[in-house]
Structure 1
Amino acid sequence: MQRITNCILATADQCLMLQKPSRGWWVAPGGKMEHGETIKEAVVREFREETGLSIKDPELRAVTTVVIVGEGQTMEDEWMMFSFLASSYEGTMLDQSPEGKLVWQKRDAHADLPMAEGDHHVFNHILNQKGVLYGTFYYTKDFKLIDYRLDPKPMQEKGAAL
């Protein structure tokens, strides 16, 4: 199982997002953990490699599993993602990230940007809720969301008004 870390760097009104060239989807900067790294070491390293910025005091806010399901409901791939939130940083942002286009977006822009469907849930939780989100997302090989489980459940699933 592959382990991935990412981080949403957010100010009061913006967050830094990365647009991946392969699908044009927006993500939080991050990437694969290296052997022997802690999740915190990995998120700091990956964020710096992709943005040029050193995040300070990243806080773990979501632990999710992504399962890719093939023909006949067979599991094709699986990885675990550790998502963080940071609000302070040092350094100068790269003019061009090796992973795509870096843009400071409005804090709530994730709701309308193209991204993996599960990422909308993760961004919403990290930017608007407290505590750690736990979940599993099931996708087809072409990244169409089939099903998901979240704990805690999003507000709209509980029947509460947003």
Structure 2
Amino acid sequence: MGASFPPGPGGRGEPQAAGPGSPTRWEALRPIYLRTLCFIRDGDRVLLVRRRKPPNEGLYNAPGGKIEPHEDPYEAVLREVHEESGLRIRGPQLRAVITVITQTTGAQWLLFVFVAEHPSDPPDPVATDEGDLQWVPLKEISTLPVVSDIPLMLPYLFVRGGVLMGKIHCDNDDADSMLAYEFRIT
């Protein structure tokens, strides 16, 4: 359980000074958005969705989305993949944890990136409310309008050994505004 604070001014449960040098008020916190992505592989192809909605409208990305308050990243990726593709994947593997920092708003996006194999029983998905789905050969991804971090991550996602950790700096919340990135395998 997290710490609880006695009611502060206005009875809002704000922290109180606990001693010398302790903060006496909350600092403004920047938002942190928790998201999942799942690269579903079928041989030398991967399933991508061309987004119909912002952010990243018109760009290809892997299925995924926000983590609900009651979910962990694993539960969220199972739900999101099903919602966006109709597929029920089994055993997705966490392959990357990426922090995206936006310069203009200060917001952070924490991405939990998974890989999974295409289930053998269902038919191929074609479209959902999120966008049109397409199986894309891995070697052709760089020819499509994709979210800018995909070509950077893909070489690490389908190899064994370690988890890709990284930080991406963007100008704003649009994925095509990348300014710099740092990756490492842990």
Unaligned runs of 5+ in 2: 1-31
| Equivalent in the alignment of 2:103 | 69
From 21, 25, 31, the equivalent of 2:59 is 25
> Once the two structures are superposed, what CA deviation does each residue of 1:87-143 show, in whole Å capped at 9, x if it has no partner?
142534444211111001112222222223222212222135643100010011253
| Equivalent in the alignment of 1:81 | 111
| Equivalent in the alignment of 2:183 | 150
| Equivalent in the alignment of 1:156 | none
Judging changes above 3 Å, is the alpha-carbon distance between structure 1 residues 114 and 129 closer, same or farther for their aligned structure 2 residues?
farther
1:51 Cα shift?
A: 0.1
Judging changes above 3 Å, is the alpha-carbon distance between structure 1 residues 21 and 129 closer, same or farther for their aligned structure 2 residues?
farther
Matched, 1:51 2:85: yes
Alignment of 1:2-151 (within 5 A): 2-22=33-53, 23-70=57-104, 75-89=105-119, 90-128=121-159, 130-141=161-172, 142=174, 143-151=176-184
Q: Which amino acid aligns with 2:181?
A: Y
Quick one: percent identity of the two aligned structures?
30
Return the structure number with greater relative CO, CA threshold 8 A, min gap 6.
1
Give the structure-1-normalised TM-score.
Answer: 0.83
Counting matched residue pairs gives 149
| Equivalent in the alignment of 2:3 | none
C-alpha distance in structure 2 between counterparts of 1:20 and 1:2, whole Å? 19
Question: Are the counterparts in 2 of residues 34 and 42 from structure 1 also a CA contact under 8 Å?
Answer: yes
Q: Please, what is the CA RMSD of the aligned residues?
A: 1.9
Q: Secondary structure of 2:107's match?
A: strand
Q: Secondary structure of 2:83's match?
A: helix
Q: Which amino acid aligns with 2:70?
A: G
Unaligned runs of 5+ in 1: 154-162
C-alpha distance in structure 2 between counterparts of 1:145 and 1:118, whole Å? 8
Structure having the higher strand fraction is 1
1:152 Cα shift?
A: 3.1
Question: Are the counterparts in 2 of residues 62 and 82 from structure 1 also a CA contact under 8 Å?
Answer: yes
Runs (4+) of structure 1 moved beyond 6 Å? none
Question: Are the counterparts in 2 of residues 58 and 86 from structure 1 also a CA contact under 8 Å?
Answer: yes
1:79 Cα shift?
A: 1.0
C-alpha distance in structure 2 between counterparts of 1:24 and 1:79, whole Å? 20
